[in-house]
Chains A and B, each alone.
Chain A
Amino acid sequence: MSTLHTVNKSPFERSSLQACLGHAQASDSVLLIEDAVMAALSGTAFAAKLADAGQSIKLFVLGPDLKARGLDPAKVVNGITVIDYDGFVDLAAENSTIHSWL
């Protein structure tokens, strides 16, 4: 039993990412999509928090959403995996539950 958590709000604007990371279990996956992809970049005020969360939770970010915002997939925090839409489908299929933190 594992959960895929998706977060789609900017961490600078909403607390969804913080809430998600605070509740996700060790075997869970967290996928950053839409306006949450900003959290994945190194050099932001959230980078340390993400790197820390990545120690116990599997972290992913959706590449197409990074590219749309002009953010370089090569510059994501260490430990975050960049995936495409096919990877999103795989994650959805691999996990028994999907929890969308709107």
Chain B
Amino acid sequence: MGEDMEEEYEGGIVKKFMFVNRKAPYGTIYALEVLEMVLISAAFDQDVHIAFLDDGIYQIKKGQDTKELGMKNFSPTYRALEGYDIEKLFVERESLEERGLTEDDLLVPVEVISRAEMGALMAGMDVVLTA
């Protein structure tokens, strides 16, 4: 059974997926839910891209410590994505600047691109999911 499924995916169509993160973590459940979707997509050998823009960039801010909130700090998971061959992470430069942040504030290697470049990147995707 497991083997049949694997063959089916190997011969299946690979689409360009983009998950667009626009919300800060912890205040709402969106960031964690998108991360779940990303991890699921990794199991289907799709061409996964992750974008962080607007408040979404706070998801990959270094130094998150949720102890006093009693919530799980899920930020280390972004560093583990590399192990699932998810390495196409993009951050919008304008969003960083508006928030007084730089690439050094982020906990994973990313490609920083302009809003115009982000728009063009989105336009080239087969599937775009934003939250």
Contact = CB atoms under 8 A, between A and B. Distances in A.
Given A12-B98, A69-B58, 13 more contacts: A13-B55, A35-B24, A35-B28, A35-B55, A38-B58, A42-B100, A43-B101, A47-B100, A67-B67, A68-B69, A69-B24, A70-B65, A85-B68
Contacts of B66: 67-68
Given A13-B55, A38-B55, A68 B99 contact: no
Contact of B68 (A38, A43, A67, A71): A67
B61 interface: yes
A70 B100 contact: no
A12 B99 contact: yes
Interface residues of B, number: 27
Contacts of A69: 24-26, 58, 61, 64
Nearest to B71: A68
A16 interface: no
Interface of B: 23-28, 54-55, 58, 61-69, 71, 73, 75, 98-101, 105, 107
Nearest to B73: A68
A19 interface: no
B128 to A, nearest CB: 19
Given A44-B99, A68-B71, A13 B54 contact: yes
B27 A70 contact: no
A10 B98 contact: no
Contacts of B69: 64-65, 68
